[in-house]
Amino acid sequence: MQKIIARTPGRIIEIRVKEGEPFQARQTLAVLEAMKMEQPVFSRSSGTVREICVTVGDFVKIGQVLLTADE
């Protein structure tokens, strides 16, 4: 199982995938706003979204799990 985590604190402004949806390596899965800059959140490898753990508008901390995926 793959865990996609926040690399910086900020607010979730966009989620670009749905549960059960496949994705490719380096695909943007969500967008985080930190210090008025948009930070894309992407995967290192391909997989299928298992669970989305946040919603748009949530504030997240460094290391917080944003979504999990099956490889």
Residue 62: CATH number of its domain: 2.40.50.100
**What pLDDT, on the 0 to 100 scale, is given for residue 17?**
97
24 burial via Cβ count (<10 Å: 0-12, 13-18, 19+):
exposed
Range of the structural domain that residue 22 is part of: 2-70
pLDDT score for 71: 85
pLDDT in tens, the chain (71 residues): 999 999 999 999 999 999 999 999 999 999 999 988 999 999 989 999 999 999 999 999 999 999 999 98
Task: Quickly tell me which residue has 């508008």 as its tokens.
Answer: 57
d(CA 19, CA 1): 14
The number of domains in the chain is: 1
**DSSP label at 26?**
T
Residue 58 near residue 11, CB atoms below 8 Å: yes
Predicted confidence at residue 70, as pLDDT, reads 94
Cα 67 to the center of its chain, rounded Å? 6
